[in-house]
A and B are shown apart, each in its own frame.
Chain A
Amino acid sequence: MSKLRPQKEYEKTFAFHFFRWLSGSKDPYLGEVEMKPQKETETAKATILERMNEKEMIRDKVYDVENNKKLAVFHKIYVIMAILFCIILAGLLLYTVSYLPRTGNPSNPDNNMVSRRYIENGLQETGSLNIVSGMILTYRAFDTFGETNVLFIATCCVMILLMVDDAILKKQETVNDRQFEPQNDAILKGTAFVLCPIIFIFGIYIILNGHLSPGGGFSGGAVLGAGLILYVNAYGFKKTQKFFNEHVYKTAKITALCMYGIIGSYFYILGANGIENHIPLGIPGHILSGGIILPIDICVGLEVACTMYAFYALFRRGGL
């Protein structure tokens, strides 16, 4: 019969360790092996982005027309329906046109007192040789003010879409591949040197003669704007900014529109209240004649030129 060993001695034996391990009352590694508490797993931001990208890719695959049969069929039907719809609409409109009054017939409904007064009394009432200018800028001046505001709001929207902050713009200029574009093109420069002054003078002529000859603010402004665009292309933005930067653009635009608004409001409100306004009509045919037409033409011309140039500059480099 074996002797009962004392507890201390027994703890040193292999059997004690074995049974202790078997019952799981002691972790053999605890205290023996160096261990760190486990960290909570964190997904890195980059991984999350990657996963999101993968999700997007899956979605792109679903809309992948080449591999998705159903979508391809749908697209085909869509195209066919669209073409059919357009043909039906065009046919319907053509069919309607055949029922409209014939052009040039003197008894047509649109040959009535409205156009007769424009043609017969236009010269006396507006003082303008150009009946169209007289009509849009005096008889229907309110519509034209609205139309000028359409241009204004269109530039605002393009600005929202394409305007870039100055700081970013400067940074871009060094990185952008635009710097490799030919800049000092002698032929372009020479042509612009000759053409630009002529274009500017011609634009100003069209604007100032809006009440005497065909033309007016809208067409003259477009010519001026085209001249500015040619100048920018030949000499670059830096040189243009010396006389036409954002500040000048804003001042010109706001002044032109406000002047138009003030002249217009003066005309509408006095006219509506039956008060005679004191803008002289002048002698038809003289440069200073036509009442409110000439100043309004100048305002419209400025606004249109600014709009044309602003569109070009915003699309080209995201700033004026």
Chain B
Amino acid sequence: MDFVQNFPAVSILMCLFAGIISSGMKKRSARYISMGLIVAVTVLSLCTLLYILKTGQAFVYVMGKFPAPWGNEIRAGVLEAFMAFFFCVIMFLSLEGGRKKLADEVEEGKTFLYYVLSDLLLSSLLALVYTNDLFTAYVFVEINTIAACGLIMIRQNGRTIKASARYMIMSLLGSGLFLMGLCMLYDLTGHLLMSNIKEQAALIYASGEYRIPLLIVIALMSVGLAIKSALFPFHAWLPDAYGYSTVSSAAILSSLVSKGYIFLLIKIIYRVIGFDIFNSSKIINVLFIFGLMGMIFGSLSAIRENDVRRMISFSSVAQIGYIYMGIGMGTQAGIGASVFHILSHAATKSLLFIAAIGLTDVSGGSRKFIELTGAAYRNKWAGAAFTVGSLSMVGVPMFSGFISKLLFAQAAVQNNVKMLPALIVLGISTVLNAIYFMKTVIRIYTPVDDGKYDSIRFKDMKSYTVILICFILLNVILGVSSQPVVDLIDQGLAMFS
């Protein structure tokens, strides 16, 4: 066995250790540990990715000396390693971009807990990405849920407490449904390891014995994970949770936490239930329809919103709808497009949240649109970044959002039945996106010279600007040279089965 194969397991364990150790640290050292950890995990994931690309096949890693069906196991393929790498990059940028705000909004004595939570959140994300065992996935889903709640409520005011209570209830409901599905699946197959379940599930499906329980298992797992990732009818917790929490939390939650669950669902489709069995169930149509509805209703709510942070949050509902529409198409291309949209949305949404905070800061801390007039002149970099994010979300060429929309459209064309609704709703949703994002961009570039608010100088926000530039570059790279990424995703999806 090669030395590099230890890296995925080591990175998960490192995150857990970092969380434990920083719980006894002061604020500053906790931050250094957290940042060092993220950089280290990024490097390890990149090494793993390069190693897998070189050998050309995925590897499994047994945690402990007992082999697969008895012990725990993790598995790394191209897509897993790439996701881990990407998640780490976004995590680093989000934490660093919202650092100043974090110091303002979180009690001095509790800041170290923020880094404890973010370390453990990263560990759970990595475990969800790498795991080859359904029960390990469930354990880390629990960690993920509690850490996300903590991230919301660490900014202590009434709204965040309410939002986190709501999130907790919805999220626990999702976990509960997922656990029920897991128990039933164990009862049917007698395994917890993904590859063994897949073999057994194929046998059961062929024999036709346990059709109904298998259908219910698929339903429970999909709905459970859909609740946790805020698919349209289950999105009630989302706007408050993203809108009022501190900005790093909002960026992390929208771009990583919900995406981790979606990635787990994709993994379940390919590696647990089996792509064909999942497609032959009716659940996939339900996901498709919910996705389409989310694309429209999320955008409509965003148009009505008068608060810029909540508007961006509602836009997340629409974007999650896109991802589920891709999954619901039931083709390889559809899921490929969804995975690309996971990346592009993660890069764009965190950019938007962090740019929005720069704009509201030069508008007297108000998030109402009327106060934001001309904010882009007062904070030029944040204005530029917000514009880039908006253009990407709308789907203008050169930015990442365009590529994902193109991929969705291509995937839709391959599917005879779902082509028409998918293309129509894609068009409507793009127009709606353009309405609310362009409205904001025009608003922030409308000149006012009443001198009500001071503009901020570049000198005062060096690190913030660097983060924004990194985000813009990430977006443009995903938009301009998308072909290598798309190839990686296809290769990774092929490795799944």
A interface residues with partner B (beta carbon < 8 Å): 92-93, 95-96, 99-101, 108-115, 117-118, 125, 138-143, 145-147, 149-150, 152-154, 156-157, 159-161, 163, 165, 250-251, 253-254, 257-258, 261, 264-265, 267-274, 277
Contact = CB atoms under 8 A, between A and B. Distances in A.
Contacts of A250: 23-24
A272 B187 contact: no
B88 interface: no
B484 interface: no
Contact of B212 (A96, A143, A270): A96
Contact of A153 (B136, B147, B191, B212): B147
A149 B140 CA distance: 9
A157 B146 contact: yes
Given A101-B187, A138-B66, A277-B65, 13 more contacts: A109-B190, A115-B190, A143-B72, A143-B139, A146-B136, A152-B120, A153-B116, A153-B150, A160-B156, A161-B153, A251-B24, A254-B21, A268-B63
A30 B1 CA distance: 101
17 contacts: A100-B184, A100-B187, A112-B191, A138-B64, A142-B63, A146-B142, A146-B143, A153-B143, A153-B150, A157-B117, A157-B150, A157-B153, A160-B154, A267-B65, A269-B9, A271-B65, A272-B64
A115 B70 CA distance: 8
B109 interface: yes
Contacts of B275: none
Among B1, B16, B110, B184, max chain A CB count under 10 A is at B16
Contacts of A261: 13, 16-17, 20
A169 to B, nearest CB: 12
Nearest to A118: B70
B213 A99 contact: yes
Interface of B: 1, 5-6, 9-10, 13, 16-17, 19-21, 23-24, 61-66, 69-72, 109-110, 113, 116-117, 120, 123, 127, 133, 135-136, 139-140, 142-143, 146-147, 149-150, 153-154, 156, 161, 180, 184, 186-191, 200, 210, 212-213, 216
Contacts of A93: 180, 216
A13 to B, nearest CB: 54
Nearest to B65: A271
Nearest 7 Cβ contacts at the A-B interface? A271-B65, A146-B139, A110-B190, A142-B72, A109-B190, A157-B150, A271-B64
Contacts of B1: 272-274
A99 B209 CA distance: 9
A156 B110 CA distance: 10
Nearest to B6: A269
Contact of A125 (B66, B154, B190): B66
A95 B216 CA distance: 10
Contact of B188 (A95, A109, A149, A253): A109
B201 to A, nearest CB: 11
Given A110-B187, A114-B69, A258-B21, A149 B64 contact: no
Contacts of B64: 138-139, 141-142, 267-268, 271-272
Given A153-B146, A268-B9, A271-B62, A92 B189 contact: no
A297 B246 CA distance: 38
Given A113-B69, A159-B110, A269 B10 contact: yes
A156 B63 contact: no
Contacts of A100: 184, 187-188, 210, 213
